[in-house]
Amino acid sequence: MNRSQAQRLLPFLRWWPGVDGRTLRADLVAGLTGALVVLPQGVAFATIAGLPPEYGLYSAMVPAVIAALFGSSWHLISGPTTAISIVVFSVVSPLAEPGGPDFIRLALTLTLMVGALQLAMGLLRMGALVNFISHTVVIGFTAGAAILIASSQLKNFFGVEIARGASFHQTIRALVAQAGKIDPYVTSVAMITLLSGMALKRRYPRLPYMIGAMLVGSIAGAVVNHLAGTQVIRTVGALPATLPPLSLPIFSVPLFKELAGSAVAVTMLALTEAVSIARAIAVRSEQRIDGNQEFIGQGLANLLGSFFSSYASSGSFNRSGLNYEAGARTPLAAVSGSFFLAAILLLVAPLAAWLPIAAMAGILMLVARGLIDVKHIKGIVKASRPETGILAATFLATLFLDLEYAIYVGVGLSLALYLNRSSQPAVRVVAPDHRDPRRRFSSEGLAECRQLKIVEVHGPLFFGAIGHVQGRLQQMADQNPQQKHVLIVADGISFADIAGAEMLASEARRRQKEGGGLYLVGVRQRTMEMLSTGGYLAVIGEENVFDTKASALAQIWAKLDKRPCEHCERRIFEECRAS
């Protein structure tokens, strides 16, 4: 096995030789910082997923190490995320009681399936598939997920009884119906936690504000209990001070079939999160990201993580961005962060007994608030009405449909918009600009030749687009029947399939019957190969395909009927001026 093959199989061999004392110190500092940040986040995300709090911390350990060693990004931190957590709860909660043993095993089984799918897609080099989930869909889904997270915590924030697993509209209706039963003690602790977190984030943005908010909320809860003389504020309870225990997903073909659709949705969402975050940070770090390798890294992380009590994980934008800002130099930062987190868990797990559930509700409200990307939402609304429609549809589908279907709705609408745009390539009429010394083509109201129509086509010439292009050419022919010759500037045609090549040949035959012709200039190699191998070039005529615009105009001018030219004052071409 040569060095290149070894690096493809074990990608950490690429950066390991560059580790030295200086990079190690930077990575250890970044790892410790990340461990402190993920401590409250992991507990919060596990709560969202309907799992015991410690499972959020377990999911930030083993998957983070595997993804760091086998992914391509040097700064991506994997672990539990908000979007994945809420989808896991949505998928598994109808099948088992949240927090129970069956729920945990089903969540681990879903994680196993997600990891297997991700790994298979990476090995099959299907990394480009995540490009079909647009940024707009992710923003809309995340904003909807933020609202769902906030609504799921209303019962803990206000101290009212709302059925677990209630839908968004059912939760709002139940809260309104019980407005008079809101517990002021619970609400005060939750509000103090929320406001303190917001204040700490604004005043000290570089510090782990969630930990500060949890401490403030815990103190507030203890004070309220003391003043009330009884435990009116319930707490999370002590976490088990253990490392991630071994676990066994359920291996059942009927269960795999039942979870298959949901696993695909979680897979695509998780991969989109991970690759998008890795690429965003790579722009700043000037690192090259291999999408297929990220698929493999994420797949191995979830596949192996399911045997170490970890539920579905993906790349975390907050922790990855913090990892880069903290000075991480190599993926050892993610590895060291996992070990630091394990040590911290062993030390502070008993302290969770002092953490009020109301304070956790306040923390989750902070998480939900940070998920709504107001800046990008405003930009989408201003820039594009179709994208705004996709954003709104994904957002509403997230609130009122099963979450996996909400993702499919967003992806489907994005693909429909893409196909609609691709099926209508720009067909623009141009003419030589006499004001330009190089006589370049322009569309700015220049005079056209009465016998020759010159058009530029921008976009792929495939089966879905030929109707639009052919219709535009027919429309031009109906408006100016005397323009029997058509020159297509084809350097903007990215590719042509069989249907596109057949359309060009059909247009050439029609023009030839009318005494004119179809001409092409600037044809790309891929398109030329399709025309040649399919026999379409013989119909169009090899002599009618040109490399330069100057040679095309000279040859076409020689074929024009010179009688109308005698009384023409336009003198469009240089040849006209010389005659």
Q: Mean pLDDT across the stretch 410-421? A: 82
pLDDT at site 301: 96
* Polymer length in residues for the chain: 579
Q: Mean pLDDT across the stretch 76-103? A: 91
Query: 571 or 526: whose pLDDT is higher?
Result: 526
Place of tokens 């110190």: 25
Q: Mean pLDDT across the stretch 82-111? A: 92
| Gap between the Cα atoms of 502 and 497, Å rounded | 9
pLDDT at site 421: 81
Place of tokens 């099948």: 95
Which residues are 81's β-sheet partners?
Answer: none
Instruction: Return the half-sphere exposure (C-beta side, CA atoms, 13 A cut-off) of residue 552.
Output: 28
Statement: residue 577 has pLDDT above 60: no
Which residues are 430's β-sheet partners?
Answer: 454
Phi, psi of 537 (to 5 degrees): -65, -35
Q: Mean pLDDT across the stretch 239-258? A: 91
Q: Output the DSSP codes for 526-547.
A: HHHHHHHHTTHHHHH-GGGEES
pLDDT per position as a tens digit, 176-214? 898 888 999 999 999 999 999 899 888 887 777 878 888
Which residues are 288's β-sheet partners?
Answer: none
pLDDT per position as a tens digit, 132-156? 767 788 788 878 888 887 888 898 8
List of residues 6+ apart from 384 with CB closer than 8 A? none
Q: What is the pTM of this model?
A: 0.72
Query: 252 or 204: whose pLDDT is higher?
Result: 252
pLDDT at site 353: 76
| Contact in structure between 466 and 503 (CB atoms under 8 Å) | yes
Cα distances from 318 to residues 78, 156, 278, in angstroms, run 11, 25, 12
Question: b/e string for 55-68 if b means 16 or more Cβ within 10 A?
Answer: bbbbbbbbbbbbbb
Q: Is 2 exposed, middle or buried (0-12, 13-18, 19+ CB in 10 A)?
A: exposed
Statement: residue 300 has pLDDT above 70: yes
550 pLDDT band (50/70/90 cuts)?
confident
Phi, psi of 469 (to 5 degrees): -65, -45
Question: b/e string for 126-138 if b means 16 or more Cβ within 10 A?
Answer: ebebbeebbebbb
Q: Is 510 exposed, middle or buried (0-12, 13-18, 19+ CB in 10 A)?
A: middle
Least confident span in 93-102, 157-166, 337-346, 460-469: 157-166
The two structure tokens encoding residue 432: 């030589």
Query: 119 or 209: whose pLDDT is higher?
Result: 119
Sign of the torsion formed by the C-alpha atoms of 296, 297, 300 and 302: negative
Query: 256 or 405: whose pLDDT is higher?
Result: 256
Phi, psi of 356 (to 5 degrees): -70, 145
Q: Is 386 exposed, middle or buried (0-12, 13-18, 19+ CB in 10 A)?
A: middle
pLDDT at site 95: 92
Q: Mean pLDDT across the stretch 287-300? A: 89
Q: Is 176 exposed, middle or buried (0-12, 13-18, 19+ CB in 10 A)?
A: exposed
Question: b/e string for 192-208 if b means 16 or more Cβ within 10 A?
Answer: bbbebbbebbeeeeeeb
pLDDT at site 278: 83
Query: 537 or 438: whose pLDDT is higher?
Result: 537
Tell me what the pLDDT averaged over the chain comes to: 86
14 pLDDT band (50/70/90 cuts)?
confident
pLDDT at site 209: 80
